[in-house]
Amino acid sequence: MTLASAQNPTGKWVAKYSSDDEAREIVLALNVESGGAVTGYVLAPQYEDRIVEGTATGGQITFVAERDANNNTKRRSNYSAMLEGGTLKLTMPTAANRPPQVIEFTRTSAEAPAPLPPAPPKISLAAPAAVRDNGLARTPPMGWNSWNKFAGRVNDKVVREIADAMAKNGMKAAGYVYVNIDDTWESARDSQGNIGTNSKFPDMKALADYVHKRGLKLGIYSSPGPKTCAGYEGSYQHEAQDAKTYARWGIDYLKYDWCSASRVYAPDAATMQAAYAKMGEALLASGRHMVYSLCQYGMLNVGEWGAKVSGNLWRTTGDISDRWQSMSNIGFDQQIGREKFAASGHWNDPDMLEIGNGGMSDVEYRTHMSLWCLLAAPLLAGNDLRDVKPGILEILTNKEAIAVNQDKLGKQGVRVAKNGDLEVWARPLADGGHAVGLFNRGAAAAKVTAKWSDIGVKGAHKVRDLWAHADRGKVKDEYTAEVPSHGVVMIKIAK
């Protein structure tokens, strides 16, 4: 057995983290051999990373850790740490679009840790029979979600104030009705296995009643795995029980995030489909109508089976961030070919709106809104609606753009022309017209032309600019507009 000195980081290190009364911890187990090689693991509620290589020199440590991912692959993450006195500061791996996260650990044992036992075999499930359509979300859901702005800082007070703001500032009038609480509301289960809320949400039923009195609806979040992405209680093996609890509280919408399900379920489409079908059936049997949002990042061809598990929407990509590069890559590049899966009640979801969070210009946010409307994507605002600039509110509540998003035909828009950084997207509308976006992804202003032949129309048609709220007269064969860098001109071509 090797014992660590004050300068040797060998041992068990623990970091406790919590934004409420539910304490969680991350365990870092390190064994530094005489030559400086590092072995061990990082164990959090929602994942375990096994160190596959690493070195320690003085108080500096770097290592690569590996975990099971989906599609029978391994995901590798790079860590770095600094030993400072009795504290070890670990820089956690984050997505490229997120700032580094540094967590302080305290040593609880100086003994060399035993290796983690092999992970138990993963559960395989047969593809289920199709789950009944719940009849909801006949047009893309509209509302607000807490994560992009508040993450783990969301609480009862914030949600009430957001609901008040939505009811008064024009958001509700424009069609935004869902007020969705994302991760970090959960508490441990009671002795009967019922999920509870932590101190941030003392009475979820009372909160739902408050939101409903304002003519809005309340959404909530869980995972088919044992833990959520933030390490809180998931719905694994409690699907029916949780659905009944949500119904009792008065919940109207569930976002169901894969996260730690990859630790217990086999990485195949049939198993994932069956895991989501469990909750789809449970929601239908709960006695309350709830929109069902699948959040599994577009893996395993979810568009082919999302509707079959009673899903109303399904994520198509990884998480969006408040940057032009993230939004444009997700919206323009990663939605190609998915239009065949979208239909009334069942929508491709390129993730929530970042409009108003400060990382993009108003021009770019207008592009964000236009593209999501053309894509028939759910419109879930993610900014602080209690303090929103008039220009941002104008973007979010543009009734002419929203009418495109909510069009009853339910056809997702497609890219009909591309010339370098210049793109034209179009979607047919229920009244026989077409909505068209003339986009400029380049670094300088440019003229963009939408040709009627690319869109599938002929002759002369009335054109309306949906951001200028102005008629442009009758136009024959094509329409050309000067479009700013990263900007859009969005038009409607009349029947």
Catalytic residue ranges:
257, 319
Distance CA 127, CA 403 (A): 37
CA distance readout (Å), 69 to 40, 76, 79, 122, 390:
19, 9, 18, 12, 43
* Contact status, residue 273 vs residue 238, Cβ threshold 8 Å: no
Nearest to 249 by CA among 218, 285, 293: 218
Helix (H) or strand (E) holding 302: helix 302-305
Amino acid at 195: I
Amino acid at 362: D
Distance CA 161, CA 252 (A): 19
Amino acid at 149: K
Q: Where are the alpha helices (DSSP H) in 375-430?
A: 390-396, 399-405
> Is the torsion defined by CA of 135, 137, 143, 144 positive or negative?
positive
Helix, coil or strand: residue 280: helix
Distance CA 378, CA 346 (A): 10
* Contact status, residue 387 vs residue 168, Cβ threshold 8 Å: no
Helix, coil or strand: residue 314: strand
Would strands 47-57 and 60-68 be described as parallel, antiparallel, or unpaired? antiparallel
Q: What share of the chain is helix, strand, coil (3-state, %, to 5)?
A: 25, 35, 40
* Contact status, residue 149 vs residue 357, Cβ threshold 8 Å: yes
Helix, coil or strand: residue 378: coil
Helix (H) or strand (E) holding 107: strand 101-109
Nearest to 336 by CA among 366, 379, 297, 375: 375
Nearest to 347 by CA among 381, 378, 310: 378
Q: Where are the alpha helices (DSSP H) in 250-330?
A: 261-264, 269-284, 302-305, 324-328
Distance CA 274, CA 146 (A): 28
Count CA atoms within 13 Å of residue 211 on its CB side: 31
Looking at residue 330, what DSSP letter applies? I
List, as one string, the DSSP characters of 168-217: HSSHHHHT--EEE--SS-EE---TT---EE-TTSS-HHHHHHHHHHTT-E
CA angle, residues 104, 107, 109, in degrees to nearest 5? 160
Place of tokens 């082919």: 304
Distance CA 279, CA 251 (A): 14
